[in-house]
């Protein structure tokens, strides 16, 4: 221990210990200081903060109260006390503290929270009075209140004028900047909102709501790394903000930092272990990194907490090799009779379909798959005729403009490998095989090509991006190609070549060839009956709206083949087609052909792909962690008598 007659030296040492993550030693040092100087504010404050880090809210509250005994109206510690009491479930004391905080340090935030509290206890008069008194007590806030009321009434232009009127008098009014940012966010002007939140944060970096707003505007723009940092800053200021912790965990997972995501979810569960949604999210992340036992435990816990969790049961079914017990099937079937949310019911039906399929009771299995698909089809917006027209438009555009399109001036790189086609057609297997090669890295289903398509479309608010392609000069094509490479860097690490396994990229092959002329394209194709029926059995968390009706799926498959035939003629020898059944029957031959197309030497490790520990996010994650098997070939025949809608399409 350093000499304690020098409190500054001792405190600096405590800070150093804290920065080195030696929390216990830092606490010991700080306790020594307050033995000598009981009112050493900095030490008391820091002890309160450290105990929050140690997830000891009661101990933290003890030191917060010590500070407030010395500085009765200290704003920061009143805020801490309010949040700690709220977290500890002491609602009455927490709101007494909030009332004191609002009385001594009134702000929009304290007014709003106090108003919400009064509403919660059915005291509407007090709720209204808090807001009215706060805003009418000051001309500036009276103007802001007008803006808030305009927003509630949908008068956004008048709200903007009210906020700007305040900023004209005081350009650094943090509440006006924030409210204007929220208005921009509401109107989907995300860049404007982002800039306003950043400007406000420069004025006050300790205003936690601003970090929350900034994190969310980054997130909606898919600026995930920046969103992550903003949520981290928010959590430093508001450590018990469960919503922020959950959001941070989800962003870690999206950034493929699965272990950090899982650790963050565990932090949430330490604070509150009764949230089934967190167990589900943690289970999905555990599944992705191959931790099967822990993954199942997380799903089981979610179901224990919420017995009507269709997502929990479907998540177990979606492991593909999970066997449901009689008791679980009984519970699921009984749950269908309960008042259950529609999406939970749909997922329960898909889970029952898989449960009976695993038991080879194919008739009962199809009954549940059909009911689940029928319900989901009513909820999604999909028109097979419109999809066919869209394919016609793509083909017509590229046929008519063959001599006008520049396919040689995009960004010069051979890094991306696009694996595309229909979902459930073997693309995950191909990715797993190729990523076992030392010169190739697997990523995930990246949305960047479609995002670039939307950006090109927005140039003049066209119905689609096709007509704008002709206006892209050499410089712009290079910019968009480089944009794709830059914006996918977060998903990859060391290897030169990387895989983008987004199946829905097949309509965008023309765009890909314009902006990335040297990109490799692999078409993962499967027997139409197996491929289409496999889609029908799959509940997709989002997208793939064509998969919930057998006729829709068949028509989509035929349109896909029609377009791929066109691309193969348009770009001869540039696209490599891999048939799933050929890979299963002659794996080494097909792997050699793929590697030859990619100009890569054969690697024996590609044949041992199932030994890889790399994360796999798709529904096939468990299946590609085992050697190639033939049981999926012609699997549709088990359901043949119920699949005449499909077979009629492909027997024509």
Model confidence over 434-493: pLDDT tens digits? 998 999 998 888 999 999 999 999 888 777 899 899 989 999 999 999 999 998 988 887
The total domain count for the chain is 1
- pLDDT at residue 4 greater than cutoff 50: no
Q: How many CB atoms lie within 10 A of CB 465?
A: 19
Question: CB of 198 within 8 A of CB of 230?
Answer: no
Q: Classify residue 454 by burial, with Cβ atoms within 10 Å: 0-12, 13-18, 19+.
A: exposed
> What is the rounded average pLDDT of the residues 79-96?
90
Q: How many CB atoms lie within 10 A of CB 404?
A: 8
Mean pLDDT of the chain: 91
Q: How far apart are CA 553 and CA 530, in angstroms?
A: 12
Backbone angles phi, psi at 78, to 5 degrees: -65, -40
Which stretch of 77-81, 344-348, 543-547, 606-610 has the lowest confidence by average pLDDT?
Answer: 606-610
In a domain, 586, yes or no: yes
Q: How far apart are CA 616 and CA 629, in angstroms?
A: 18
In a domain, 492, yes or no: yes
Q: How far apart are CA 443 and CA 643, in angstroms?
A: 35
pTM of the prediction? 0.81
Residue pLDDT, tens place only, 392-441: 999 999 999 988 898 888 999 999 999 999 998 989 899 999 998 999 99
Give the per-residue pLDDT at 7: 80
3-state secondary structure of 417: strand
Give the per-residue pLDDT at 490: 83
In a domain, 599, yes or no: yes
Residue-number span of the structural domain to which 518 is assigned: 410-650
In a domain, 529, yes or no: yes
Q: Which two three-digit tokens encode residue 213?
A: 């707003």
Number of helices (H), then strands (E), in the chain:
33, 5
- pLDDT at residue 3 greater than cutoff 60: no
Give the per-residue pLDDT at 1: 43
3-state secondary structure of 605: helix
Q: How many CB atoms lie within 10 A of CB 76?
A: 15
550-588 CB burial, b ≥16 within 10 A, e <16: bebbbbbbbbbeebbebbbebbeebbbebbbbebbeebe
3-state secondary structure of 125: helix
In a domain, 559, yes or no: yes
In a domain, 588, yes or no: yes
Residue pLDDT, tens place only, 519-569: 999 999 999 999 999 999 999 988 899 999 999 999 999 999 999 999 999
- pLDDT at residue 370 greater than cutoff 70: yes
In a domain, 633, yes or no: yes
> Any idea which residue has 């194919």 for tokens?
362
Residues 6+ apart with CB under 8 A from 565: none
- pLDDT at residue 312 greater than cutoff 80: yes
Instruction: Indicate which CATH number applies to the domain containing 619.
Output: 3.40.50.300
3-state secondary structure of 579: strand
| Closest-CA residue to 346 (of 551, 552, 538) | 538
pLDDT band of residue 633 (cuts 50, 70, 90) is confident
In a domain, 431, yes or no: yes
């Amino acid at each position: 221990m350093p000499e304690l007659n020098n409190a500054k030296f001792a405190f600096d040492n405590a800070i150093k210990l804290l920065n080195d993550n030696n929390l216990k030693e830092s606490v010991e040092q700080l306790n020594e200081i307050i033995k000598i100087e009981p009112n050493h504010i900095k030490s008391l404050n820091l002890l309160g903060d450290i105990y929050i880090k140690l997830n000891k809210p009661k101990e933290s509250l003890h030191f917060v109260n010590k500070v407030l005994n010395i500085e009765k109206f200290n704003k920061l510690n009143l805020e801490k006390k309010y949040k700690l009491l709220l977290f500890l479930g002491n609602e009455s004391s927490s709101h007494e503290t909030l009332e004191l905080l609002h009385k001594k340090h009134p702000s929009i935030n304290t007014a709003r929270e106090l108003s919400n509290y009064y509403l919660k206890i059915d005291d509407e008069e007090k709720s209204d009075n808090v807001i009215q008194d706060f805003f009418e007590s000051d001309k500036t806030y009276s103007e802001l209140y007008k803006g808030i009321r305009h927003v509630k009434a949908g008068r956004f232009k008048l709200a903007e004028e009210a906020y700007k009127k305040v900023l004209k008098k005081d350009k650094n009014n943090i509440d006006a900047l924030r409210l204007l940012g929220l208005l921009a966010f509401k109107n989907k002007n995300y860049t404007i909102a982002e800039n306003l939140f950043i400007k406000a944060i420069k004025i006050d970096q300790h205003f936690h709501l601003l970090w929350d707003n900034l994190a969310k505007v980054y997130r909606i723009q898919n600026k995930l790394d920046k969103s992550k940092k903003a949520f981290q800053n928010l959590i430093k200021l508001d450590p018990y903000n469960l919503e922020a912790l959950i959001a941070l965990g989800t962003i870690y997972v999206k950034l493929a930092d699965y272990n950090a995501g899982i650790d963050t979810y565990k932090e949430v569960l330490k604070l509150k272990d009764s949230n089934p949604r967190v167990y589900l999210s943690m289970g999905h992340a555990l599944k992705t990194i191959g931790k099967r036992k822990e993954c199942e435990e997380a799903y089981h816990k979610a179901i224990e907490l919420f017995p009507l969790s269709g997502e929990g049961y479907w998540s177990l079914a979606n492991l593909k090799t999970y066997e449901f017990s009689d008791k679980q099937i009984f519970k699921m079937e009984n749950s269908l009779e309960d008042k259950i949310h529609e999406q939970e019911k749909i997922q329960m039906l898909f889970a029952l379909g898989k449960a009976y399929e695993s038991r080879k009771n194919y008739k009962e299995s199809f009954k549940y798959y059909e009911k689940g698909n029928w319900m989901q089809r009513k909820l999604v917006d999909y028109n097979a005729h419109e999809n066919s027209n869209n394919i016609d438009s793509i083909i017509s555009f590229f046929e008519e403009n063959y001599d006008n399109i520049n396919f040689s001036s995009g960004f010069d790189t051979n890094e991306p490998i696009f694996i595309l086609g229909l979902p459930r057609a073997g693309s995950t297997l191909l990715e797993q095989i190729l990523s076992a090669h030392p010169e190739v890295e697997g990523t995930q289903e990246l949305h960047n090509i479609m995002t670039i398509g939307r950006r090109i479309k927005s140039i003049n608010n066209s119905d689609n991006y096709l007509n704008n392609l002709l206006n892209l000069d050499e410089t712009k094509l290079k910019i968009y190609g480089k944009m794709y490479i830059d914006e996918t860097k977060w998903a990859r690490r060391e290897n030169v070549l990387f895989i983008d396994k987004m199946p829905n990229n097949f309509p965008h092959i023309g765009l890909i060839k314009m902006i990335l002329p040297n990109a490799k394209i692999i078409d993962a194709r499967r027997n139409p009956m197996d491929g289409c029926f496999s889609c029908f059995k799959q509940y997709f968390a989002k997208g793939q709206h064509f998969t919930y009706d057998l006729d829709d799926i068949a028509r989509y498959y035929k349109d896909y083949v029609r377009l791929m035939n066109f691309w193969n003629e348009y770009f001869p020898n540039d696209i490599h087609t891999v048939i799933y059944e050929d890979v299963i029957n002659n794996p080494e031959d097909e792997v050699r052909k793929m590697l030859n197309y990619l100009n890569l030497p054969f690697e024996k490790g590609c044949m041992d792909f199932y030994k890889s520990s790399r994360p796999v996010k798709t529904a096939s994650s468990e299946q590609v962690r085992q050697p190639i098997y033939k049981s999926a070939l012609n699997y549709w025949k088990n359901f043949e008598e119920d699949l005449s809608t499909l077979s009629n399409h492909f027997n024509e």
